[in-house]
Amino acid sequence: MSAASTNSLFGMGNPLLDICAVVDKDFLDKYSLKPNDQILAEAKHKELFEELVKKFKVEYYAGGATQNSIKIAQWMIQEPHKVGTFFGCIGKDKFGEILKQKAEEVHVDAHYYEQDEEPTGTCAACITGDNRSLVANLAAANCYKKDKHLDLEENWKLVEKAKVYYIAGFFLTVSLESILKVAKHASENNKLFCMNLSAPFICQFFKDNLMQVMPYVDVLFGNETEAAAFAKEQDFDTKDIKEIVRKAQALPKDNKKRQRVVVITQGKDETVMAQSDKIETFPVVKTDPKYIVDTNGAGDAFVGGFLSELVQEKPLDQCVKAAHYAANVIIQRAGCSFPEKPDFK
């Protein structure tokens, strides 16, 4: 059994059913997709989902960034079950049922707000080589309501039980007030609130929302592309990753008892972390490219591995080690899936 207790890790975000397929460059060009990107679906992408299913061999996986990370953390921890709690909004439909079933299978304590105005959200993962272009149609995920779900006494009790909180930046487009309620609770009770930059568009177009939450962020995650977009929007005036993490760490913070930790991944290059007054780098686990199946869940898995140790109060370098291990396992499998048990020491 791990040192973690039930419901000690809380996540809230967009539960999506991932529709994954290996596509060709023509398909990306037709819908003006970059090979490696994350965007929200617009009207012009309506046919994309239909064409993807018709033209390519698709696989369905329970997804959504935050939900993936909570699942990976739970997998890394194994016992007890239901260390991870997850909140999000789904539709009353077949895809919603699949998401519920998948969460149960991996022992995550998912409490969905179910509504019937919008169908369960989907995310097209268009894979070319070791790149993946994600197009999210939030649908139901966009309907999460603080007053209809988070504020309910039995749900808020689950929030209060947690010690570590994680919300991907993607949820900033859905319910800022829900994020702020959780973030303030964490800050006032000296618990750990973690967030992810998630995508360049979050740093660019949801900058105000992001910066309203930033003072409460104890651990900030991101990759090199997101970090560059964030630095540009914040006028950091540098492209140097170490300089960016230092400046992100120094942004104003509400809870002065903890200094912010900033962790930036760079694909196969080293991970950079700012903790206390030092900047450290950690090499990633080397993988022969021929074993890389799908890099889609790598970032979510990294966070999941990190959180699995963080919630057990392990040192930060051990958190990074677990993060690298989880990401390495995930990229050698399709979808954000994993073997029955981890082999992490």
Which residues are registered as beta bridge partners of 127? 22, 132
Q: How far is CA 62 from the centre of its chain?
A: 13
Say which of 18, 109, 218, 300 is annotated catalytic: 300
The tokens for 37 are 């990107």
What are the C-alpha distances in Å from 286 to residues 268, 283, 325, 331? 7, 8, 10, 12
Which residues are registered as beta bridge partners of 278? 275
Question: What is the Cα–Cα distance from 332 to 320, expressed in whole angstroms?
Answer: 19
The tokens for 91 are 């539709």
Question: What is the Cα–Cα distance from 232 to 210, expressed in whole angstroms?
Answer: 14
Q: How far is CA 43 from the centre of its chain?
A: 25
User: Do 193 and 165 touch, CB atoms closer than 8 A?
Assistant: yes
User: Over the Cα atoms of the chain, what is R_g?
Assistant: 19
Query: Counting Cβ atoms within 10 Å, is residue 324 exposed (0-12), middle (13-18) or buried (19+)?
Result: buried
Q: Is-catalytic flag, 300?
A: yes
Helices (H) and strands (E) counted in the chain, each on its own, are 12, 14
Cis bond before residue 289 (omega within 30° of 0): no
Which residues are registered as beta bridge partners of 128? 131
Point out the residues that are catalytic. 300
